[in-house]
Amino acid sequence: MKAKTIFYCTQCGNETPKWQGQCSACGSWNTIVEQPSTAKVKRGSVKSAIQMGPVRKPKLVAEMTLDQEIRFPTGLAELDRVLGGGAVQGSLVLIGGAPGIGKSTLMLQICNELCKSAKVLYVSGEESERQLKLRAQRLGVGEMELYLFAENNLEQVVAAVEETTPDILIVDSIQTMYNGDQTASPGSISQVKECTMALMQLAKGNGITIFVIGHVNKEGNLAGPKVLEHMVDCVLYFEGDRHMSYRILRAAKNRYGATNEIGVFEMDDTGLREVPNPSQMLLEGRLTDEPGTCVTCVMEGARPVLAEVQALLTPSAFGNPRRSTNGFDYNRAMLLMAVLEKRGGLAVNTCDAYLNVIGGLYLDEPGADLAAVLALASSFRDKPVPADLVAVGEVGLTGELRSVSALNQRLSEIHRLGFKKCLVPKRHGKQTIIPPEGLQLIPVRNIREALAILL
């Protein structure tokens, strides 16, 4: 009997009975692909091994009890921070990032701590057991009680899980796994979707915590259908240039915690090393007497982080000035330059403008607006911003400064790192500001006042 063919979108996973140029669910063009539909469930297959479990009944929320050990530490405080306080039993965590960024290294390092209190199975579809052993020895964790299994057939993986009954399962990577019920090749849309669904049912049905490593495409998004991110409980992204030593782990989705926390690591010869004080790391090597630089303080979850914003403005040799940003939203930077031109009185529209955030950090919080404006104005006037000053505030289209959240926490971090002055909005809402002793607050109403005081 001929297998029935279905069509679905590679962006959102929406299925349609026939091909069409535009996806009716997400609106993307030329993303509909053809794949055979899922075959019948065979006896002994992955689906029968997972789905054919005991019959369950609905439960009342009031009758449910939470186990005190539902959340456990991974051994890396920075990873625990991003996960919301530790990993959750029975959760499915997806970790994505560019090749060579440190995903597999991170997983091997947490195994060293997890193996002390739990049984861990590491499944690799990319490396042999010998290669994994060599890499573990290089990282200094080669003597841990870890189960290694080099296999990319999901049926064999499920059989190994049933035999070893691990508490934690690590799959490296989901794009190398394949389900025998599917005729498509490993890494295809249908294989990634079906394998992730099988792992999700395995995690929820048996209470196994599963970490899955995922590849990214050339746009920087996780390879595979968008529904992949909807099925898992947590989506973590490793960010940073692979040629730089610092890495930032950020949560894009977390059902058990906040999504605005970050973890900072440094890659060295022995693996990833935690950076408990990212503000000091981001400000290392800062020049204090050069124009075009200003320090700001942003909130990454519950953690205040100081970052340096650099700007360079030069007269344009062409009719259309060149604009470029790194670590700062491009459209936001163009908006701030327009405000600086109209409300600040600086003719920056004829200049080539370059904006950069040091250390690989991406600033998407409005509290960094004032620092970006001061860095642009400092480069334009060729006058340095005082080295002991930090600027915090959101800039509106009329040039006014708006208040930011958690200002007291920011001021404490600013004072802890030795800064003496802080430029803040004059209006800070209902917050009661208590500046630390030794930190001078300079309240300003708009960017024109800020430029008059500093430059």
Q: What whole-number distance in Å separates Cα of residue 144 and Cα of residue 20?
A: 52
pLDDT reported for residue 41: 42
User: What average pLDDT does range 81-109 have in this prediction?
Assistant: 91
Arithmetic mean of pLDDT over the chain: 87
Order of all β-strands in the sheet with 15-16: 15-16, 5-9, 32-36
N- to C-terminal Cα distance for the chain?
Answer: 79
What six digits make up the tokens of 38? Answer: 């899922």
Q: DSSP label at 180?
A: T
SS3 335: helix
Q: What whole-number distance in Å separates Cα of residue 281 and Cα of residue 290?
A: 20
Least confident of 35-49, 188-202, 264-278: 35-49
pTM value is 0.76
pLDDT reported for residue 240: 78
Count of Cβ atoms closer than 10 Å to residue 377 Cβ: 26
- The radius of gyration of the chain's CA atoms, rounded to the nearest angstrom, is 26
* pLDDT, tens digit (0-9, with 9 covering 90-100), for 211-248: 999 988 776 677 777 778 889 999 999 887 766 788 88
Q: What whole-number distance in Å separates Cα of residue 141 and Cα of residue 133?
A: 9
* pLDDT, tens digit (0-9, with 9 covering 90-100), for 301-342: 788 999 999 999 999 888 889 999 999 999 999 999 999 999
Give the DSSP letter string of 249-274: EEEEEETTS-SS-EEEEEEETTEEEE
User: What average pLDDT does range 50-71 have in this prediction?
Assistant: 68
Query: For residues 321 and 15, which has the higher predicted lDDT (pLDDT)?
Result: 321
Q: What whole-number distance in Å separates Cα of residue 75 and Cα of residue 114?
A: 7
Q: What whole-number distance in Å separates Cα of residue 376 and Cα of residue 300?
A: 24
pLDDT reported for residue 321: 92
Q: What whole-number distance in Å separates Cα of residue 267 and Cα of residue 274?
A: 9
User: What average pLDDT does range 180-184 have in this prediction?
Assistant: 78
Q: Are strands 32-36 and 5-9 parallel, antiparallel or unpaired?
A: antiparallel
Q: Are strands 401-402 and 168-172 parallel, antiparallel or unpaired?
A: unpaired
Order of all β-strands in the sheet with 92-97: 147-150, 120-124, 168-172, 209-214, 92-97, 234-239, 246-254, 262-268, 271-274
pLDDT reported for residue 387: 92
Q: Are strands 271-274 and 262-268 parallel, antiparallel or unpaired?
A: antiparallel
331 within 8 A of 393, measured Cβ to Cβ:
no
Alpha helices in 283-368 (DSSP H): 330-342
pLDDT reported for residue 314: 93
What's the pLDDT band for 66 if we cut at 50, 70, 90?
Answer: low
Count of Cβ atoms closer than 10 Å to residue 363 Cβ: 22
SS3 102: coil
* pLDDT, tens digit (0-9, with 9 covering 90-100), for 362-392: 898 899 999 999 999 999 999 999 999 999 9
* pLDDT, tens digit (0-9, with 9 covering 90-100), for 241-294: 766 788 889 898 999 888 878 899 998 888 899 988 888 888 888 888 899 999
What's the pLDDT band for 3 if we cut at 50, 70, 90?
Answer: low
Percentage of the residues of the chain whose pLDDT score is greater than 90: 50
Q: Are strands 209-214 and 92-97 parallel, antiparallel or unpaired?
A: parallel
Residue 230 vs residues 15, 54, 133, 233, 384: alpha-carbon distances, Å: 16, 26, 33, 8, 47
Q: What whole-number distance in Å separates Cα of residue 260 and Cα of residue 253?
A: 9
| Element of type H or E holding 120 | strand 120-124
Count of Cβ atoms closer than 10 Å to residue 153 Cβ: 15
Q: What whole-number distance in Å separates Cα of residue 442 and Cα of residue 420?
A: 11
pLDDT reported for residue 158: 93
pLDDT reported for residue 378: 95
pLDDT reported for residue 43: 43
What's the pLDDT band for 181 if we cut at 50, 70, 90?
Answer: confident
Give the DSSP letter string of 6-44: EEEETTT--EESS--SB-TTT--BS-EEEEEPPPPPPTT
Max CA separation in the chain (angstroms): 81
What's the pLDDT band for 39 if we cut at 50, 70, 90?
Answer: very low
Tracing tokens 């960024």 back to the chain, one arrives at 101
What six digits make up the tokens of 393? Answer: 């505030």
Least confident of 65-79, 117-131, 172-186, 292-306: 65-79
SS3 425: strand
pLDDT of 45 above 60: no
pLDDT reported for residue 317: 82
What's the pLDDT band for 49 if we cut at 50, 70, 90?
Answer: very low
198 within 8 A of 191, measured Cβ to Cβ:
no
User: What average pLDDT does range 70-94 have in this prediction?
Assistant: 92
User: What average pLDDT does range 442-449 have in this prediction?
Assistant: 94
pLDDT of 295 above 70: yes
pLDDT reported for residue 37: 55
SS3 135: helix
Q: What whole-number distance in Å separates Cα of residue 282 and Cα of residue 361?
A: 8
54-57 — which CB contacts under 8 Å span 24+ positions?
Answer: none
pLDDT reported for residue 269: 83
What six digits make up the tokens of 135? Answer: 């890499």
User: What average pLDDT does range 152-181 have in this prediction?
Assistant: 92
What six digits make up the tokens of 91? Answer: 């959760």
Count of Cβ atoms closer than 10 Å to residue 94 Cβ: 26
